[in-house]
Structure 1
Amino acid sequence: MMQKPAIHILTRKDLSDIELPPLDVIGMVEDAYRSYAQEASRCPTKMMMALPDAQRDAVSYSMLGYDGAIQQLGFKTSYRQGSESAKKYYTTISLYDDTTGLPFAFMDCHRVGGSRTPATSAIIAKNCAKENAKSVLMIGTGAQGINTLPYLAAAIPSLETFRLFGTHPDGIAASLSTFARYVPERDVELVEDVPAAVSGSDIVVVASGRASHPKVQTSWMKPGGLLISVASKGVEDGALSQADYTLATSEGQMGVTGKRLAGDENFAGIDAELPDIVVGKKPGRRSQDDRVFAFSSGMIITDIPVAHALATRAISAGRGQRVELWK
């Protein structure tokens, strides 16, 4: 008998304790970039829309994509009311199985973003940091930042010094707890002087919003440094133009959400996209002394495999609800 069309609905609670080790997530995301670079996947530029009421400070966006590595199609939506608060930020993803032609899951995407984003930062760092990088600074302790240091530790064994700047006590505590869980042999140094910490670190990841720190400039980096902006408001306008080598996860999406980083100059493009670096079509840097700037913007092709892995494990554990929407 033909299977009836149904979708599994999974809540944030259903997914909260599903285990996905950092190296597993990094591998999934790498495979997604590799499939895209080999033209087996599709990922149109995200559609972003500011709402008319400026006083409400709300924004929404959507992404559609297909991951050829696991043959799943995904549709992601996000809405945020107020750019400084995570309390009114809602994001979901729907998955469809292209092998069966059936819907698969509709789920909260908070956990997905909190896993694939640090995986992307780790992949950028693995491919674009200078050889034998020893130190990393993480700026930001929100959902996108909590997992970043342990993911970097997994991807780059040479790292010895881990620094963190944050302003929210709960976020700092969660970041330290997560790091201790995965990297018990290392400590995290909490910093207060952001410019000094940036200039003393080989890798800097900025995932802060309108935070209380000086906006990071590429020129603060020492020769050979790597600055990764996770679509962050904590990076100064013009950071792109200050770099010796520039890359983005997607040049098209950078034109939507990161154009200000080119400063007053006309945007002349970047040197490479991350998927091409992953498959070896482009280098991660030209020399060991280059100051490299990387713009990380979420691509749904990286959401899809992480969401699928979480959903598969949750469903196997009896989580969620199976709903026949089309009966």
Structure 2
Amino acid sequence: MPQSYAPPGQLWLLPQSAQEGLDLDHRQVIAVVERAYRALREQGSDNPVKTVIEGPGHRSLSYSMVARDAGSDTVCFKAVYEFDPRRSRDDYRFHSFVFLADDATGAPVALMDVVKLGPLRSSATTALFAREACPDARTALVVGTGVQARSALPMLVAALPDLERLQVFGTYPEGLRAVQDSVPGREVEIVKDLRQAAGEADVVVGAAGLSVTEEVRRDAMKPGSVAVLLGYGVDAEVCRGADYRIATDTAQMHATADDLRDENGELPPIDAQLPDILLGRAPARRTPDDVVFAYNSGMAVTDAALGRYMADLALAAGRGDKVDFW
């Protein structure tokens, strides 16, 4: 561990402001996240299922995750608190952080805000799903205009450089402009007819929030396409009606995908998990015409790996503050 993370008794803080402007290359971010998934199978990383609690009347949502990334010898403790998660009271609040520790030396690395880290690792996972399930994709459609949606297209372009057509569907003008600006030098079309756009897209990304007004339906998707869900914007019938289903982790999906359950509370079976797909142990689809559904659930092992990578960049740039803590 570099001596300058923080001396004994101190903790290095990396707030959102200290992470702005870091020299983050999207291809490198994808590579870091991919190594973390591979390490789950090859190096014995650990990623227990998250613990979730919900306040009465959907007032709040809280969850915590812990993971150990063997590839970087980093342990990650992540905590998330959302107030008014369904945006029903017009009083939404989001607070989250990750605490990183070096598992080779036992020393703390940093306490980081996750406003930047979370969307980066999620969009990198989306890009990996798309690359594996639809490597010849030419058209990508993102449903949503929030933070997750704004990270999706630049990461997809990094993973699939032959993408020719980029599209976004949403209702907020400022968010639509932000998604358009997220890919400098590339045109991003704003679509009005979601059904038509979904029928032309090779990759559909559901990255909208709970306030989404319209979702992609199963019968709108063309053969050979893939729908990646990490928020909202892809209807549950796409999951149930897909020809092939993949997920980052089946157990994690069962803990977090209540919106996808049928009237009996059941989820359809998962055909393959992302770590196995990346290692060539399972296919990302069975046939070229399969409509593939991919469930992108956050995994703390990627927070550990990418958080350590970002912390090292911040350290080299002289970012953050060291405070007396212990």
Aligned position for 2:219: 219
Aligned position for 1:277: 277
Runs (5+) with no aligned partner, structure 2: none
Equivalent-residue separation in structure 2 for 1:309 and 1:292 (angstroms): 31
Aligned position for 2:42: 38
User: How is 1:299-310 mapped onto 2 (pairs within 5 angstroms)?
Assistant: 299-310=299-310
Equivalent-residue separation in structure 1 for 2:43 and 2:250 (angstroms): 16
Amino acid at match of 1:257: T
Whether contact under 8 Å (1:218, 1:293) holds in the other structure is no
Task: Map Cα deviations across residues 231-260 of structure 1 (whole Å, 9 max, x no partner).
Answer: x23332333210000011111111111133
- Given the alignment, which residue of 65, 68, 71 partners 2:67? 65
User: How is 1:29-108 mapped onto 2 (pairs within 5 angstroms)?
Assistant: 29-52=33-56, 54=57, 57-85=59-87, 87-108=92-113
Instruction: Report how far residue 170 of structure 1 moved.
Output: 2.6
- Given the alignment, which residue of 123, 133, 136 partners 2:137? 133
Whether contact under 8 Å (1:195, 1:214) holds in the other structure is no
Instruction: Report how far residue 102 of structure 1 moved.
Output: 0.7
SS class of match (1:189): strand
Whether contact under 8 Å (1:74, 1:93) holds in the other structure is yes
- Given the alignment, which residue of 152, 163, 166 partners 2:167? 163
Aligned position for 2:235: 236
User: How is 1:257-272 mapped onto 2 (pairs within 5 angstroms)?
Assistant: 257-264=256-263, 266-272=266-272
Structure 1 271/104 Cα, relative in aligned 2: closer, same or farther at 3 Å?
Answer: same
Equivalent-residue separation in structure 1 for 2:212 and 2:147 (angstroms): 17
Amino acid at match of 1:17: G
Instruction: Report how far residue 278 of structure 1 moved.
Output: 0.7
Instruction: Report how far residue 226 of structure 1 moved.
Output: 0.4
Equivalent-residue separation in structure 1 for 2:287 and 2:201 (angstroms): 18
Aligned position for 1:110: 115
Whether contact under 8 Å (2:43, 2:71) holds in the other structure is no
Whether contact under 8 Å (2:227, 2:234) holds in the other structure is no
Whether contact under 8 Å (2:65, 2:77) holds in the other structure is yes
Whether contact under 8 Å (1:11, 1:107) holds in the other structure is yes
Instruction: Report how far residue 304 of structure 1 moved.
Output: 1.3
Equivalent-residue separation in structure 1 for 2:247 and 2:38 (angstroms): 15
RMSD between superposed Cα atoms in Å: 1.9
Amino acid at match of 1:239: V
Superposition TM-score, scaled by structure 1 size = 0.92
Is 1:313 matched up with 2:321?
Answer: no
Task: Map Cα deviations across residues 50-90 of structure 1 (whole Å, 9 max, x no partner).
Answer: 013x1x62100011000001000000011111224595111
Whether contact under 8 Å (1:4, 1:324) holds in the other structure is no
Aligned position for 1:255: 254
Whether contact under 8 Å (2:240, 2:268) holds in the other structure is no
Aligned position for 2:18: 14
Q: Report sequence identity in percent.
A: 35
Whether contact under 8 Å (1:5, 1:102) holds in the other structure is no
Structure 1 139/211 Cα, relative in aligned 2: closer, same or farther at 3 Å?
Answer: same
Task: Map Cα deviations across residues 191-247 of structure 1 (whole Å, 9 max, x no partner).
Answer: 0111111111111001112234322223321111100001x2333233321000001
